[in-house]
Structure 1
Amino acid sequence: MKQSRRQVLALAMSAAAACAAAPALAQSYPSKPITLVVAYPAGGDTDALARLFGEKLSTRLGQPVVVDNRPGASGVIGSSYVAKAPADGYTLLLAPSTFSIAQLVLKTSSSAGYDVLNGFTPIIETGTLPLFLVAGSGAGMKTFKDAAAAAKTQSLSYASPGSGSPMHILGELVNKTVGIDLHHVPYRGVAPAVNDVLGGHVPLTYITLGPVAPYIPGAKMVPLAVADSKRSPLAPNVPTFEELGYKGLEVGAWHGVFGPKGMPADVVKTLNAHFNEILKMPDVVSRMATLGAIPLGGAPETLAKTNAADYERFGKVIKDLGIQAD
């Protein structure tokens, strides 16, 4: 009997110790460097944001935050890597909105490997990026009316950062809604698309504002319309497609931080709180503006809802319009 009582007491003490250790474990995060994966090459908008956030997060957490570029297959390679990583908060993904739709537009089996809706832990939606239709100076277009009229009398094309991107989806939606047939010219990223529009090789591009902003004051590039419900504070003189008489052309881009599925709630809470504070920093807000991004923040559920909404809406658009990546 005495032995039994000792065993019960020992078990009770062990359980109490375990309960006490759980908060301590959460409070010890992070105890080693954090990897922030970017599923695209270095030098792009997502990479620039990752390095900005990484620097701020490192200062706040007291641990290095290393940006790890893992490009390929429209972001699927990097996303798959994070999906399969330990769910301990030390491997995170900064993903653009292509994350929601990449697997829907790929032709090959490289799209397999993760569940975009249920295979990750959403942490925070860091910002939104309005999409613009922009003309090169050589195209001679000052308004969207000019572009639509030209498209009905001659063969014109538009550049995008890649097949199956939100910019590609917007381009095909505009074609269908307006009744024009701009030919899609996909590029492997933002920089080469912008360069070819600047060089006059392609007259138009659907793009976020950051990469083209330096060329707008000198009229080397002319924004014709924004695909949002309201005018962008980053370019308040540019009309929305709805103002121009075309409804249903609201296609925005965003960035968000995800982790592997099953991350501890306390770790998610910690990261979410730090990111929300980072997004309020004046230098971060300013830098994001130069990249064409508007800080958002909020609870993890905001990112989850945005991801699910894009998957559903654009999944239908991709199927209806037959959009595929090369």
Structure 2
Amino acid sequence: MYALLRKFALALGCLPLAALTAHAQGNDFPVKPITIIVGYPAGGGPDIGARMLGEKLAARLHQSVIVENRPGVSGMMGASAVARAPADGYTLLFAPNTFLIAPHVLSKGTNVNLDVLNDFVPVVAPSKGAMMMVAHPSLGVKNARELVALLKKQPGLAYATPGSGSPMHIAGELFKKSAGVDMLHVPYKGVAPAIADVLGGHVKITYASIGVVAQHIAAGRLVALGMAEKERSPLMPELPTLAEQGYPNTATGAWYGVFAPKGTPPAVVEKLNQEFNTVLRQPDTAAKLKQQWEVPLGGSSEDLARMARAEYESYGRIVKEFNISAD
């Protein structure tokens, strides 16, 4: 028995100190409150999602989870705060995938010099929504094909977005190219004024996340023309994608990711990933996300890393091709 214990002790002694430390950090984590930073104002989609998941994560970890709003520069102020935070897993970023567009469209100096792929460690992608094209009923079209037929006769119809360089702007440019039509981009200062003008019929077309426009579609105030996604959304399965209607390469996607500062110990990242995934598998989590027009996603940190890199590179090509920049 003594000989076996001695061999075990020697084997432990051969393990790198960093590996032992990381393992200990993973086992002990967390020992104090966790802060989730959201780069957008309170009350919006990212804030609501972060608070709901933070509350459930706190119950799992038996530690407080605090959501802190750091709005500004297309969400990059919050991202910058996380990048500068200690790499210990106690400060996390909750961000929509627009996080991956901002560096491409913001002018030099305004993106706080972040490398979004290398300054962060992916933790998990909690959920996804859906981007869709909608129109005012007075336009008289019921799907994307009818819109294209109209645009062939009346080129230059305007479409509203929350701003230049937004995912909605990118979606519009992709559709124009795929359908071979001309539309006039009208940028607004945010989602609310853009939707308000479309509801008022001042601009007839817009792109929006499903949660923003679902109630207006149900009430007949807007008409859903197609999903700007790779596949139909389970949130509105009857609505075909733009690609299904004959307009490929028009998908943009809408999802959220959780990121930690670069250098966060792998064991801590794995612990966070496991706990988030456990929360996402709870039936009431799915129910709450559905109320926000989101569906659980989850998966490994590597899954999020692949998604992030693919979208970052894709958006970079699109922004360059269409010469898109932020307001």
TM-score, normalised to structure 1's length? Answer: 0.89
Partner of 1:270: 271
Task: Please state how far the C-alpha of 1:298 moved relative to its aligned partner.
Answer: 0.7
- Please state if 1:116 is matched with 2:116: yes
Q: Is the 8 A contact 1:278 1:284 kept in 2?
A: yes
Partner of 1:103: 103
Q: Is the 8 A contact 1:210 1:289 kept in 2?
A: no
Task: Please state how far the C-alpha of 1:104 moved relative to its aligned partner.
Answer: 0.5
Partner of 1:233: 234
Q: Which shows bigger deviation, 21-30 or 283-292?
A: 21-30
Distance of 1:19 and 1:147 partners within structure 2? 59
RMSD: 2.3
Alignment of 1:272-311 (within 5 A): 272-311=273-312
**Sequence identity percentage:** 48
Alignment of 1:1-326 (within 5 A): 23-152=23-152, 153=154, 155-326=156-327
Which residue identity lines up with residue 297 of structure 1 in the other structure? G
Which residue identity lines up with residue 162 of structure 1 in the other structure? G
Q: Is the 8 A contact 1:44 1:190 kept in 2?
A: no
Partner of 2:9: none
Distance of 1:150 and 1:315 partners within structure 2? 31
CA shift in 2, pair 1:159/1:43, >3 Å:
farther
Q: Is the 8 A contact 2:230 2:253 kept in 1?
A: no
Q: Is the 8 A contact 2:159 2:186 kept in 1?
A: yes
CA shift in 2, pair 1:191/1:280, >3 Å:
farther
Q: What stretches of structure 1 of length at least 5 have no aligned partner?
A: 1-11
Task: Please state how far the C-alpha of 1:261 moved relative to its aligned partner.
Answer: 0.2
Task: Please state how far the C-alpha of 1:21 moved relative to its aligned partner.
Answer: 7.0
Distance of 1:192 and 1:91 partners within structure 2? 33
Partner of 1:8: none
CA shift in 2, pair 1:21/1:40, >3 Å:
closer
CA shift in 2, pair 1:111/1:288, >3 Å:
same
Which residue identity lines up with residue 261 of structure 1 in the other structure? K
Distance of 2:63 and 2:193 partners within structure 1? 35
Q: Deviations over 1:121-173 (max 9, x none)?
A: 11001122221101123433322233223333154222223321222111111
Task: Please state how far the C-alpha of 1:74 moved relative to its aligned partner.
Answer: 1.1
Distance of 1:113 and 1:169 partners within structure 2? 23
Distance of 1:177 and 1:319 partners within structure 2? 17
Q: Is the 8 A contact 1:122 1:259 kept in 2?
A: yes
Is the partner of 2:124 in helix, strand or coil?
Answer: strand
Is the partner of 1:48 in helix, strand or coil?
Answer: helix
- Equivalent pairs, count: 314
CA shift in 2, pair 1:134/1:16, >3 Å:
closer
Is the partner of 1:211 in helix, strand or coil?
Answer: helix
Is the partner of 1:107 in helix, strand or coil?
Answer: coil
CA shift in 2, pair 1:233/1:21, >3 Å:
closer
Q: What stretches of structure 2 of length at least 5 have no aligned partner?
A: 1-11
Which residue identity lines up with residue 82 of structure 1 in the other structure? V
Task: Please state how far the C-alpha of 1:191 moved relative to its aligned partner.
Answer: 2.8
TM-score, normalised to structure 2's length? Answer: 0.89
CA shift in 2, pair 1:188/1:68, >3 Å:
farther
CA shift in 2, pair 1:277/1:158, >3 Å:
same
